[in-house]
Copies of this chain bind each other. A is one copy, B any other.
């Protein structure tokens, strides 16, 4: 939906977001900056998240979540083939009264890509 402000609001101030081995952001402000590219780089994207596993802490204030991502990207650049991403999100969440659940950490790992612009990925660690 290209709503970077609303997206960043789902993260804590001190979050860490890793979208690649050389492409991470420390803190919400830095993460918010990386989201500017959504509007200029893509004319459309679609993210399909499934295979979700949630591990809650005993006191239900934190959770670790593993999900599987299939993402499609249409580039602004004319003639550039659509990019496809297959991988996993590994997320840490924290809950408080004021904000509900928010991301404290998001890491994107790749099973593989097709015509994707980012060349180096964090691997899923396939045996």
Chain A positions within 8 Å of B, measured between CB atoms, are 1-3, 39, 43-51, 68, 70, 72, 74, 82, 86-87, 111-112, 114, 124-127
Nearest 3 A-B pairs (CB), nearest first? A46-B86, A44-B112, A46-B111
Shortest beta-carbon distance, A40 to chain B, in Å? 12
Shortest beta-carbon distance, A6 to chain B, in Å? 9
Q: In the complex, which of the residues A39, A43, A47 has the most CB atoms of chain B within 10 Å of its own CB atom? A: A47
Q: Is the pair A72, B112 in contact by a Cβ cutoff of 8 Å?
A: yes
> For the complex, what is the distance from the CA of A44 to the CA of B121, rounded to whole Å?
14
Task: Identify which of B3, B45, B51, B127 contacts A111 (C-beta below 8 A).
Answer: B45
For this chain, the copies found in one complex come to: 3
Q: Is the pair A68, B47 in contact by a Cβ cutoff of 8 Å?
A: yes
Q: Is the pair A1, B86 in contact by a Cβ cutoff of 8 Å?
A: no
Q: Known pairs A46-B111, A48-B70, A72-B112. 14 more at Cβ < 8 A?
A: A1-B125, A1-B127, A2-B127, A3-B127, A43-B112, A44-B112, A45-B111, A46-B70, A46-B112, A47-B51, A47-B68, A48-B50, A72-B111, A74-B112
Interfacial chain B residues near A43, Cβ < 8 Å? 112
